[in-house]
Amino acid sequence: MDSKHLLKSEPTPKLTDIPPLGMDADSLHFDFRRYYNHTLGRDRYCRTPHYLYDSLALTLRDRLMERWKNTRFAHDESNCKRAHYLSLEFLMGRALGNAVLNLGLEEELTRALSDLGLEMEELAECEHDAGLGNGGLGRLAACFLDSCATLQLPVIGYGLRYRYGMFRQVLKNGEQVEEPDHWLRQGNPWEIERPEYTQRVKFGGRSEVKRGRDGSLGARWVDTHDVVAVPFDTPIPGFKNGTVNTLRLWSAMATEEFDLGEFNAGLYPEAVGAKNEAEKITMVLYPNDASESGKELRLRQQYFLASASLQDILQRWVNVEGINLEGFADKNCFQLNDTHPTIAVAELMRLLLDDQALTWDEAWEITTRTMAYTNHTLLPEALEKWPVRLFRQLLPRLLDIIYEINARFLGEVARKWPGDVDRLRRMSIIEEGPEPMVRMAYLAIIGSFSVNGVAELHSRLLREGLFKDFYELWPEKFNNKTNGVTPRRWLAYCNPQLRDLISETIGTGWISELSQLSRLSMHAEDPKFRRRWLEVKEQNKKHLARVVKSQCDIEFDPAALFDIQVKRIHEYKRQLLNVLHVIHLYDRLKRGDLADWTDRCVLIGGKAAPGYFMAKRIIKLINNVARVVNEDPEVDGRLKLAFFPNFRVSAMEFICPAADLSEQISTAGKEASGTGNMKFMMNGAITIGTLDGANIEIREEVGDENFFLFGLSAEEVEQTRSNYDPEAIIAGDEDLGRVMQLLKSGHFNQFAPGIFDPILRTLTSRNDPWLTLADFRSYIEAQKQAAAVFQDRDAWAKMSILNTACSGKFSTDRTMQQYSREIWGIDPVPAFPVE
């Protein structure tokens, strides 16, 4: 710790011995006004809602602050084992509503604000989403933190404080345009800067290697260009339990040498340039949800996170326990959120060898007893690899260590499979070739004691496919942890009417013990309960319809079937299949085929990676089809299609409560898990889906009869590839033939001929990796069935209720209990009460 931040004398306890703040309406009311008037200096003529929001956020933050301190003290005094969740992404969304719910302040706060003629919802809208993530993986990290706090598990999130989060998506002429997300512009009342825990991270330079007595590597990493890491902490409140955990995000700053030395050397502009170079590291989140290979800045980000976090944790250890690291692995573990922070394996080795002077074997023992790796993708092209050349240039000392890890590992493989050189080549961390590469997933597996997938199917496919060689070597490392979502944000907070109906029926225990939702099953037979259930859904649909009207200028009829697909735009997620179905329905209307017609509003939303040409073209297609369908008088409002712009966490909060049908239609074997599928299910939507990711487990829980299944299985997908003939499928399916004809004819791009040719080419290619047309017929039939059931309001209500009732498994409370018991070996620690 920087000594200038410490007082010479011990601070008096009196300084921090302060009575607890009131949790009643009067206290909240008083503090709110004090912040508005005294802290922010606003008066009655300033009605800018943002100052009201800030006043409320600070009022709540004070209440979190006391509990935060008591949680830290409880963890320190219990000397418990802690888990550290290392992630390049935390997609937190908004904090205010969540804080109110978890502090149990909803009623008192509503009273406090009503005196002032204010509503919580209105102020909550002022908060900018914290969009420090791309999609599933980043939001999963956020849901995990909520559940760990609710379960009182000592888990700390470590990430990066990007100045610019996920870009804002705007549509121009039906095409995606990216705008910068300057989310900190109006300040962030939820973060506390902690300069006293600043760390230094090295880059570049050279490694001076010397062999030690035991043959291990001794080295000095010299002539480095250092960057300072400043932590910003965000409180993570548990649900009504007094616990407040920590998310620590690092911000990059130039070292003081930049400010002093170089500036005074007469090289002022050069020095400022170098300063910017350092601070670039945490400037922006990479907006790809598949690996972007080779980008130096991305590798800098990954190492910056790994190094700052590990130094922080080691420093705490040394401050408390002294230099003896013997018990370190009994008290600490690290969960790697995909391969992104995997350089932590080599960095922990470096810190233990070079700074703590451990032997290789001692350091390796600690590393492999503390690291655990979660994989989130089955797409081989998305597995992270870095050019050895880049490593040598940026992190020379870490490359030494990776080579040494690899040499020792390959020795082990060679002893087990003598003479199997092909196996050595396959399993080596270094992929040989014209440009040798470091395979990060292999480094993660070799350096970890646990490797998990995120749904049963996904974990099985990892064992049988991608990581088969490693599974043969270390079967005991491999396990599954099916994803979940937090029921606080994704039901109790975002769907208050359904929450109240559920709580009135089965009590409130389900909010922290979601399996209790099964008690709703018996009420699925009750006509009165069904009616109330449908009324809530109708209210939520009306709300969504208003937003769609204002955002897209398209009228959604709340009586129609709301058919929703929101997620990143990706070919494997097959938004195209959805569009083909919409075109088919349009074609039916044009033909006058109204047999068993169900009015339908289709909503599609999601961001495309800025460099992903096909994904962007798919967005354009959706918007062009929408325009034709919505404006055709013959369609006459029986079918609507809208593209929801700038899909984000706070949008999902009003979208998922309003869905009737949840589209989970990826090519089987490609979606690791999915988590949107769980949010929709919890809110009573019925899934139309393939046997992919967690869909399989959703169907298992809710029963075949309450799920619209279609498409090839993962095994069938692989068997189909060799003789896939899309032209033959088109020839044999009249409906599909007409859909393809409409697309080819330029019906949806009359003034821009040819723009959808790339889409047509992949759809009709024998090598289409996503086999979209193979699933067309069975998808259309499943959609027909869904439409028919929707006509029978009673049958639909029952299915909807059962979906919510059977969603208990998909709480991250269950997921985190499994991680904590089966991987981390940590126990809950109750917080000290605030008194």
Rule CB under 6 A: which residues touch ligand 26Q? 134-137, 140, 286, 288-292, 298, 340, 376-377, 384, 454, 483, 671-675, 693
In terms of Cβ atoms closer than 10 Å to its own Cβ (0-12, 13-18, 19+), residue 599 is middle
Q: How far is the CB of 384 from ligand 26Q (least distance, A)?
A: 6
Please identify, using beta-carbon distances, which residue of 291 and 624 lies nearer to ligand 26Q. 291
Please identify, using beta-carbon distances, which residue of 136 and 669 lies nearer to ligand 26Q. 136
Look up 670 and say whether it is catalytic: no
Looking up tokens 């700038």 gives 646
Please identify, using beta-carbon distances, which residue of 203 and 612 lies nearer to ligand 26Q. 612
Residue type, 239: F
Look up 675 and say whether it is catalytic: yes
CA distances from 507 to 45, 205, 519, 804 (A): 44, 62, 10, 15
Q: How far is the CB of 484 from ligand 26Q (least distance, A)?
A: 10
Please identify, using beta-carbon distances, which residue of 108 and 671 lies nearer to ligand 26Q. 671
List, in sequence order, every residue forming a beta bridge with 82; answer none if it has no partner: 332
Looking up tokens 């502009």 gives 269
Please identify, using beta-carbon distances, which residue of 297 and 522 lies nearer to ligand 26Q. 297
Look up 784 and say whether it is catalytic: no
CA–CA distance, 402 with 446 (Å, rounded to integer): 11
The alpha-helical segments, DSSP class H, found in 374-439 are 388-394, 396-416, 421-427
Decide if 763 contacts 773 (C-beta within 8 A).
yes
Decide if 310 contacts 351 (C-beta within 8 A).
yes
Tokens standing for residue 458: 């996904």
Please identify, using beta-carbon distances, which residue of 235 and 693 lies nearer to ligand 26Q. 693
Tokens standing for residue 231: 């932590």
Q: Which residues of 115-133 are buried (b: 16+ CB within 10 A; e: fewer)?
A: eeebebeebbebbbbbbbb
Beta strand 639-644 with 206-211 is: unpaired
Q: How far is the CB of 711 from ligand 26Q (least distance, A)?
A: 16
Look up 568 and say whether it is catalytic: yes
Please identify, using beta-carbon distances, which residue of 133 and 396 lies nearer to ligand 26Q. 133
CA–CA distance, 650 with 338 (Å, rounded to integer): 25
CA–CA distance, 180 with 166 (Å, rounded to integer): 8
CA–CA distance, 588 with 581 (Å, rounded to integer): 11
Look up 543 and say whether it is catalytic: no
Please identify, using beta-carbon distances, which residue of 623 and 677 lies nearer to ligand 26Q. 677
From the candidates 75, 567, 617, 798, give the one annotated as an active-site residue. Answer: 567
From the candidates 439, 573, 574, 620, give the one annotated as an active-site residue. Answer: 573
Decide if 239 contacts 150 (C-beta within 8 A).
yes
Look up 376 and say whether it is catalytic: yes
From the candidates 463, 499, 679, 798, give the one annotated as an active-site residue. Answer: 679
CA–CA distance, 89 with 650 (Å, rounded to integer): 17
Strand ranges of the sheet holding 385-387, from the earlier edge strand across to the other edge:
385-387, 437-439, 430-431
Tokens standing for residue 123: 């102020």
Active site residues: 376, 567-568, 573, 675, 679
